[in-house]
Structure 1
Amino acid sequence: MTTTINESVDKNVLTKTDKRKIIFLICSVLLFSVMNGTMFMIAVPDVAKSFALSPSEVSWVVTGYIILYAIGALMYGKLADIYPLKYLLAFGLSLFAAGSILGFFSPPNYIMVVIARMIQATGASSIVATVFIIPSRYFPKERGKVLGIVSSTMAFASGIGPVIGGFITGVLNWQYLFLISALVLITIPPFFWKWMPDEKKKEGKVDILGAAIIAIAVATLLLFITMVIWWYIIVSIVFFSLFAWRIFHSKNPFINPEMFGNAPYRTTVLTAFLAIMAMFGMMFMLPLMLSEVNELNALYIGLVLFPGAMAAAFTGRVAGTLTEKQGSKKVVFIAFGLMMTGFFLISTLIGSPAWILGAVIIISYIAFPFIQTATANLISDVLSQSEIGVGMGIYNLFNFMAGAFGGAVIGKILDYNSTFTINPLAVAQNHATIYSNVFAGLVILTLLNGGAFFYFSFKRKGSEYLQ
C-alpha cells in the first residue's frame, strides 16, 4: 500500500516552536544558497584577472552554476514526491559544502574552480527546490505567510550578496567566497536531524532515462540562451521532442503529461515566467544603466540598488499575509500594478539624479515577493500533494530560464541606439533613450501578461482557483 505524505507527516504534531525552528532553518540555508550566486557575480572580473581569461571563458563560473542549479531544482522537486525532504536537504547541503571546501582549498587552476562551482550548484539546487515544497507540506494553513517569508529571504540574500561579495573580494580574495558558503555545514549535524520532521519514503520510481533526456534538453536550451550558439537550440528541440514522446510512452514518466493539461497550473507557470523575465531583465539592466547614464562605480551602484532589495525583503511578510487573507489572484494583480508603476517611473526618470532613481526602483523591487509568493501559493492550490514536488520543480525551472532569457534578450536590445522615445514623459536623452524604451516595453509586457493572459485565461475556464 502506498504511503502518502499526509500519512507520513502528522502536521498536528508540529508545535508553534517546531514550526518556527523549521522556518528559521530553511531561511538560513536559503540565504547561503542565493548569496552564493550573487556574490560570485560580483567576483567574475577578479576571477578573470587571476587566470588571464577572456569574458567568454570566465563566464562558465556563472553559466555552469546556473545550468546545474536549474536542472537540479527540477530533479530534486521530482525526488521530493518520493523521498523525505530531510534526506534530500542533507544530501544537497553536503554537496554544497563539499564544493565550497574544494573551491577554497583547490590549487590555482580554473578548471577546478568551475568544477567546484558545479558541485556547489548540484547541492544548492536542493535548497531552492525543497523550500517551496515545505510550506505546502508542513504549513497548509499558513502556507501563504511562510512563502512570503521565503520570498523575503531570497530578496534579502539577493541584495546583501553583492555587498558581501564586493567587500570580501576587495579586502581578502575571491576564493574566500567559497569559505563563506562552506559555513552552511553548521546547519546539518546539530539542526537538520533534530528539527526536520521524519517522513516515510513513498512508493514510486524515478524515470532515469526521462530525467537524463530532460536534463540535456534544458542544459542545451540554457546554453543557447546565454551563448547564442544555434546548434544548441537544435539539440534542445530534439531532446524536448524525445522527452515529450517518453512521457506518453513510459509506464512511470518523469512528469505526468496530465499535469500539462491542468489549465490553472499551466497558466500560472507561464504567467510567472513572463513576470520573472521582466523582473530579472530589470535587475540585469539597472547596473548597466547606472554605470552608463549616471556614471556610478560599482560601490555606488550597490548603494542605489540596496534599498530596493531591502524593501523587498521587508514586504515579503506583507505579501504572505495578503495572500492568506485576500487570495492569490488579488496579490498577483497587486504585483502587476507595482511592476507597471515602477517600470513606468523608471522609464520616465532615467537621466535624473541617482537618489531619485533609487527611490522609484523600490516600487519595482517590492513586486518580486508579491509575484513569487502568490504564484507559488496558487500552484500549491491547483496541484495534488503527490504532484507538488515535480510541479514546483517545473515552476522553479521556468523561473531560472526566465532570468536567463530576460537578461539575454535585453542585453541584445541594449546594443542598439534609439532615435525616438516610446514614453512621451521621459527625460532621457542620447543613449539613455534605449533604456527608457526598454522599461516602457516592460510596462507593455506586464500589462499583456496580467491584464490579458492571466486574467482572461482563468476567466475563460471559470476556475474556482481565482478565489
Structure 2
Amino acid sequence: MSEKIAFSEDPEIQKNRWWIITAIGLFTFMSTLDTSIVNIAIPTISRDLHVSMSQTEWVATVYLLVVCSLLLLFGKIGDLIGKIKVFKIGMIIFTIGSFLCGFNVSFWMLLASRLIQGVGASMTMSTNNGIITEVFKDSERGRSLGWIGTFVALGSIAGPGIGGIILGFLPWGYIFWINIPVGIFAYLLGVKVLPKDITFQKSPVDYGGSLTFSLAIISIVGLMSYAQLNGFLNLPVLILAIIFIVSFLVFIRIELKSSHPLVELSLFKKVPFSISLISVLLIFIGNFAFNVVGPYYLQNLRGMNPSRSGIVLMAFPIAQVIFSPIAGRLTDKYGSELLIRFGICAIILSQIGFCFFSASSPIWFVILIIGILGFGNGLFQSPNNALTMASIEVENLGIAGGLNALFRNLGMVFGLTISTTILFSAMSFKAGHKVVSYVNGRPDLFLYGMKVLFIVMMVLSLIALILNMIKFNRKSR
C-alpha cells in the first residue's frame, strides 16, 4: 500500500491551495454573514409574516442556537470521518436552507429553514480552519488563516451594511437568496479542487457528551436571548441558568470519564490555546457591541437611511479585509506576539474613540474610528487563529477549529445581549426611568449609554491584552 502524502507536501494540492481557500472562504463568509444580516430585516419580516418583533427575533436566535450547539459535534465527526467530507455536505445543506429561507410562506417555515441553514453552517464552520491548517505549510499558515479571518470579519460585521443595501431595492427573501449563486459556485469549485481526506481518528462518537453539551449551549444562548428582551431577574432566566449549570457539569463529568470524549479537556491545559480562545470570546463581545450601537447611532441619532449608514459601517470590514492578509503574512515571518498585542491596543484605541462620539461628530472622524476597529481586528485575528491551530496536534484540528468557531459565535451572542443590557440600563439610570429603546429628542441619553458601554468593552479588551502578555511571557521563559 502506498504511503499517504500530507496535503502540505502534495504538489497537486499545493498547486490548487489558493483555490481551496477561495472555496472555503466563500462559505465561511456566507455562514458568518447569516448571523448578522437578518437583524436589519426583522422589522420587515415581522410586518410581512404578521408576527410580533419579539417572535421574529427567533429567526436570528434559532440559527445561532443550532450553530453553537452542533459545532463541537461536527468538529469531532470531521476528525473521525474526514473534515473535507463534512465540509462538502455542509455546503449542500446550507445552500438548500438558504433557498428555503427566501420564500415568504409562513413564520414557522422560515424558522425550520433557518434550522436547516444552521446545521449546514455548523458543519462548515467547525471544519474550515482544520482543512486550511492541513493544506498549507507552516510557512504559509498565518497568511492562509489570515484570509479565513478576513472572510469571518466580512461575514460577521458586514451583515447590517449588505442587508441594508439589499432591503433598499429588493424583498427580504433576497438576503438569503444571495447565498444561492455563491454557494453553488463555491461547491462546484470545492468538488474540483478539494482533495479526499487522509487524516482520520478511529474512535466512536461521544453521544452523551454531545447531548449534554448541546443542552448547555441551547440553555445559555436561550437565556441570553430571553434576557435581552425581558431582563435577567425573572423565573425563565433562573430555570435556564439551572439547566445550563447542571448540563455543563454533567458534560464535564462525562468527558473526564469517557475513553473517547467529544473534547479532550487536556487541550485546555495548553495555555496558548486556552488564552487564544478566551481572547476571541472577549474581542467578539466588543465587536458585537459595535454592531448594536452603530446602527442606532447613525440611523436614530444622525438621521441616516439604512443604505447610507450601511456604507459607513462597511469601514470596519473593509479595513479588516485590507489588514488581515497583511497580518497573516507578517505572522509567518515574525510570529504572533507583537501583532496580537498591537491589534488589541488598536481595538482599545477605537473604543476610546467611540466614547467621544457626539451628535455633531464629523463623518470622517466616525469612519476613522470604525476603520481603526477593523484595523485592530485585522491585526489580532489572523495571528490569533494561527496560534490557536498551531498549538494542536493534527488529529485534533477538527475539534480545535470547532472550539475556535464556538467561542467566536458565543462572543456574538454574549455581545448582543450584554451590550443591549448595559446600553439601556445606563440610559435608564440617566433618564430616571426605564428605557428599552432609543428615545427621540434625547440624544444625550443614548450618548451616555454608548459611553458606558464602550468603557466596559475597553475593560474586556484590556483583560484580553493582559492575558496575552501573560501567555507570551510564559512562553519566553
Question: What TM-score do the two structures reach when normalised by structure 1?
Answer: 0.90
Q: Distance in 2 between matches of 1:454 and 1:190?
A: 40
1:262 aligns with 2:270: yes
Which region of structure 1 is more displaced relative to structure 2, 215-224 or 345-354? 345-354
Counterpart residue number, 1:433: 448
* Partner residue in 1 for 2:163: 165
User: Match of 1:372?
Assistant: 381
Q: CA deviation at 1:7?
A: 5.5
Contact 1:92–1:126, Cα closer than 8 Å, also in 2: yes
Deviation at 1:338, TM superposition (A): 0.7
- Answer with 90-99 or 353-362: which moved more: 353-362
Partners in 2 of 1:444 and 1:159 — Cα distance? Answer: 21
Partner of 1:127: 124
Task: Report how many aligned residue pairs link the two structures.
Answer: 452
Could you tell me which residue of structure 2 aligns to residue 424 of structure 1?
A: none
Change (3 A) 1:126 1:370: farther
Q: CA offsets, 1:146-171, max 9 Å, x none?
A: 11111222233445543443343343
Please, which moves more after superposition, 438-447 or 90-99?
A: 438-447
2:317 aligns with 309
User: Which residue is 2:208 aligned to?
Assistant: 209
Structure 2 CA distance for partners of 1:31 and 1:197, relative to 1, 3 Å: same
Question: Which residue identity is paired with 2:248?
Answer: F
Q: Give deviations 1:245-296, integer Å, cap 9, x for gaps.
A: 1011112111112122222222221122112212222222222222343233
Question: Counterpart in 2 of 1:395?
Answer: 404
Asked if 1 retains the 8 angstrom alpha-carbon contact of 2:91 and 2:187, the reply is no
Alignment of 1:212-227 (within 5 A): 212-227=211-226
Is the 8 Å Cα contact of residues 81 and 390 (structure 1) preserved in structure 2?
yes
When residues 126 and 384 of structure 1 are mapped into structure 2, their CA distance, relative to the original with a 3 A threshold, is: same
Q: Which residue of 2 aligns with 1:38?
A: 36
Q: Aligned-pair distance for 1:369?
A: 2.6
CA distance in 1, matches of 2:85, 2:463: 42
Partner of 2:135: 138
CA distance in 1, matches of 2:129, 2:270: 20
Q: One-letter code of the match for 2:467?
A: F
Q: Distance in 1 between matches of 2:13 and 2:253?
A: 46
Instruction: Tell me what 1:455 maps to.
Output: 469
Q: Write out aligned runs for 1:66-77 (5 A).
A: 66-77=64-75
Q: 2:352 aligns with which of 326, 344, 357?
A: 344
Q: 1:192 to 1:299 in 2, by over 3 A?
A: closer
Asked if residue 271 in structure 1 is aligned to residue 269 in structure 2, the reply is: no
Gaps of 5+ in 2: 228-236, 432-442
Structure 1 unaligned residues grouped into runs of 5+: 421-427
1:410 offset after TM fit, Å? 1.5
Call closer, same or farther: CA 1:298–1:177 in 2, change over 3 Å.
closer
Select 2:414's aligned residue among 377, 401, 405: 405
SS at the partner of 1:414? helix
Q: Which amino acid is the alignment partner of residue 101 of structure 1?
A: F
Q: 1:14 to 1:41 in 2, by over 3 A?
A: farther
Alignment of structure 1 residues 417-432 onto 2, 5 Å: 417=427, 429-432=444-447
Counterpart of 1:82 in 2: which secondary structure?
A: helix
Residues 136 and 58 of structure 1: CA distance in aligned 2, closer, same or farther (over 3 Å)? same
Q: Per-residue deviation at 1:100?
A: 2.1
Q: Cα distance, 1:16 vs. partner?
A: 4.6
Deviations 1:350-408 (A, max 9, x none): 33133321222110122223222122111122211122211221121111111111221
Report the AA paired with residue 221 of structure 2: L
Contact 1:332 1:374 in 2 (8 A): yes
Amino acid corresponding to residue 404 of structure 1 in structure 2: V
Structure 1 residues 163 and 292 mapped into 2: Cα distance closer, same or farther (>3 Å)?
closer
Partner of 2:232: none
CA contact under 8 A between 1:342 and 1:364: conserved in structure 2? yes
1:133–1:388 Cα contact (<8 Å) kept: yes
Matched, 1:444 2:456: no
The verdict on how the C-alpha distance between 1:379 and 1:236 changes in structure 2, with shifts beyond 3 A counting, is: same
- Give the whole-Å Cα distance in 2 for the aligned partners of 1:251 and 1:210: 12
Partner of 2:195: 197
Higher alpha-carbon deviation: 114-123 or 165-174: 165-174
* 1:356 aligned onto 2:368: no
Q: Is the deviation greater in 83-92 or in 173-182?
A: 173-182
Residue 223 of structure 1 aligns to a residue in which SS? helix
**AA aligned opposite 1:280:** F
Is 1:18 matched up with 2:26? no
- Secondary structure class of the residue paired with 1:156: helix
Specify whether residues 190 and 305 from structure 1 end up closer, same or farther in structure 2 by C-alpha distance, changes over 3 A only. Answer: closer
Cα distance in 2 between the residues matched to 1:33 and 1:363? 25
**Residues 214-293 of structure 1: pairs in structure 2 closer than 5 A:** 214-228=213-227, 229-293=237-301
SS in 2 for 1:349: coil
Cα distance in 2, alignment partners of residues 61 and 374 from structure 1 = 33
How far did 1:444 drift? 3.0
The one-letter code matched in structure 1 to 2:411 is A
Whether the aligned pair in 1 keeps the contact of 2:166 and 2:175 (CA below 8 Å) is yes
Q: Residue 118 of structure 1 is aligned with which of 112, 115, 118?
A: 115
Distance 1:18 1:171, change over 3 A: same
Instruction: Give, as a single letter, the amino acid of the residue that structure 1 aligns with 2:468.
Output: F
**Shift of the alpha carbon at 1:419?**
5.5
**Contact 2:92–2:187, Cα closer than 8 Å, also in 1:** no
Return 113-122 or 169-178, whichever deviates more: 169-178
1:207: Cα distance to partner? Answer: 0.7
2:282–2:464 CA contact under 8 A, matched in 1:
yes
Which residue, out of 368, 390, 394, partners 1:385?
394
Amino acid at match of 2:457: L
Shift of 1:15: 5.3
2:108 is matched by which residue type in structure 1?
I
| Matched-pair contact (CA < 8 Å) for 1:304–1:355 | no
